[in-house]
Amino acid sequence: MNKILLLCILAASPSLADSVVINNVNVFDGESEDLILGVSVVVTDNKIVGFGGDAIAPTDAMVIDGGGRTLMPGLIDGHTHLSIVAGPRELQQMQWDEIGAKMGVRATDTLMRGFTAVRDLGGPVQGLKIAVDDGTVVGPRIFPSGAIISQTSGHGDFREPTDPHPFLEGGSSQMQELGYYRIVDGTDQVMAAVRENLRKGATQVKLMGSGGVGSEFDPIDSVQFRPEEIRAATDVLADWGTYAGSHLHNDAAITRALENGVRSIDHASQMTDETMRLLKKKGAYMNPQYGWNVFVMSAGFLTEAQKEKAAIVIDNLDSNIALIKKHNIEITFNVDAFGGYELWSNLYAAELTERQKFFSNYEIMRQLTSVTAGLLEMSGKRNPYRGKLGVIREGALADLILVNGNPMEDVSILADPQNNIPLIIKDGKIYKNTLR
């Protein structure tokens, strides 16, 4: 039996206790640089109700001896795609029930990696979220974006070269029908697509704002959506109490997005000093990922055209990092994992280890918890989970992981969750406990 399947079965029924007390732990609270040593954390129902040296647990609480390990908030991934379980070409031909089954496994595997919340930045996961929240499928809290919204020939126009256009010729495709993407042009179509996603439970919406690496029909330097189209989307989202996330690589596209209300700049690989200043002024989040390009370049399955695009991103890496440091930008943690299982799975470790080249362990620990929680909380009135994520403090949601060793000294130990994360609690329920 493979390990992941075994984990699914082990995790299939969370332990239910009204109160849990975890004693003898060193706590990373999601924000402070110093661990809080030798304390207890008490969970009742789905909240943290006691924290510190003198935390008192109810007499019938389940007691867990943390054994001097590190307790920290559950990890948060600000950019994932739980429904993109294969490349676009395969997804067009895969049966929906195979896709659905694989999505369930990914959700379980994500939680078993210690990720208790994710923002899914494109693809049909609203139903998966319902199945996770009602306990049918084991998985993380999901903030779904729904169908990716792209202009014709934009980064989310996943059609094959000869596929008919949905409006010009009246064609459709399986990916479109399953809700992976929508091709829209003009403010009316953009607004309708955004509203349709909101109707189906999106907590924020994803726009494709520039060219990308993996696509075949949009140059990476292309700027996508006219200013009025972006503004139409962000206004409609503001009316609903939430925001737009946008796939953006080049500087001109990032500037246009920021000037038209986009507050979540995803990828953000090519930015000037001026644009970084604008990002800071607007209070927008910058959501880059580092494992992807390096990993896929070395994995050797990119076409020559895709390699040229990836090289542009990689060439900009050093100057991009220098600007992040100069402007003191608190970036979020994002794996952007999708594709076949092996690639998907390897990207998590790649993201953690790549980040160590540029950021301290403490900085990455904040990115993995409280900083990315702030990004998720931008969903405002559409945030389905009431309570604070990404921190350990009284009143916060009880999403917790226990780590063998000290990730503040080497965060890469989190890349081996099977051996290094013996306890996973989400919403006050124990999903993994190998301490017994």
Contact 27, 72 (CB under 8 A): yes
E strand or H helix that includes residue 199: helix 187-199
Binders of Zn ion among residues 125 to 164 (CB under 5 A) are none
| Residue placing its CB nearer to Zn ion in the complex, 185 or 336 | 336
| Residue placing its CB nearer to Zn ion in the complex, 119 or 355 | 119
H runs (alpha helix) in 260-411:
273-282, 291-299, 304-315, 317-326, 341-355, 361-366, 372-377
| Residue placing its CB nearer to Zn ion in the complex, 77 or 336 | 336
Contact 157, 217 (CB under 8 A): yes
| Residue placing its CB nearer to Zn ion in the complex, 336 or 427 | 336
Angle between helices 96-112 and 126-133 (to 10 degrees): 50
Q: How far is the CB of 261 from Zn ion (least distance, A)?
A: 20
> Does position 120 bind Zn ion by CB under 5 A?
no
| Residue placing its CB nearer to Zn ion in the complex, 336 or 354 | 336
54 to 61, 72, 359: CA distances (angstroms): 15, 19, 34
Binding mask 287-326 for Zn ion (x = CB under 5 A): ----------------------------------------
Binders of Zn ion among residues 260 to 279 (CB under 5 A) are none
Q: Of 241, 277, 276, 283, whose CA–CA distance to 262 is shortest? A: 283
| Residue placing its CB nearer to Zn ion in the complex, 9 or 299 | 299
- Give the C-alpha separation, 188 to 204, whole Å: 19
Question: Which among 54-62, 155-163, 305-313, 334-342 is the span making contact with Zn ion, rule CB under 5 A?
Answer: 334-342
| Residue placing its CB nearer to Zn ion in the complex, 138 or 368 | 368
Q: How far is the CB of 234 from Zn ion (least distance, A)?
A: 19
| Residue placing its CB nearer to Zn ion in the complex, 114 or 122 | 122
Measured at CB, which residue is nearest to Zn ion?
336
Question: Which among 43-51, 132-140, 333-341, 387-395 is the span making contact with Zn ion, rule CB under 5 A?
Answer: 333-341
Contact 90, 344 (CB under 8 A): no
CB atoms within 10 A of CB 170: 8
The sheet carrying 141-144 orders its strands as 75-80, 115-120, 141-144
Q: How far is the CB of 266 from Zn ion (least distance, A)?
A: 7
E strand or H helix that includes residue 189: helix 187-199
Q: Of 315, 151, 309, whose CA–CA distance to 216 is shortest? A: 309
> Does position 336 bind Zn ion by CB under 5 A?
yes
Q: How far is the CB of 215 from Zn ion (least distance, A)?
A: 11
Q: How far is the CB of 334 from Zn ion (least distance, A)?
A: 8
> Does position 77 bind Zn ion by CB under 5 A?
no
- Give the C-alpha separation, 278 to 300, whole Å: 36
Question: Which among 38-46, 159-167, 279-287, 329-337 is the span making contact with Zn ion, rule CB under 5 A?
Answer: 329-337
Question: Which among 29-37, 256-264, 330-338, 346-354 is the span making contact with Zn ion, rule CB under 5 A?
Answer: 330-338
- Give the C-alpha separation, 288 to 320, whole Å: 10
Q: How far is the CB of 121 from Zn ion (least distance, A)?
A: 5
| Residue placing its CB nearer to Zn ion in the complex, 218 or 336 | 336
Size of the site for Zn ion (CB under 5 A): 1
Q: Of 240, 154, 158, whose CA–CA distance to 191 is shortest? A: 240
Q: How far is the CB of 81 from Zn ion (least distance, A)?
A: 6
Q: How many helices (H) and strands (E) does the chain have?
A: 16, 17
Binding site for Zn ion (CB under 5 A): 336
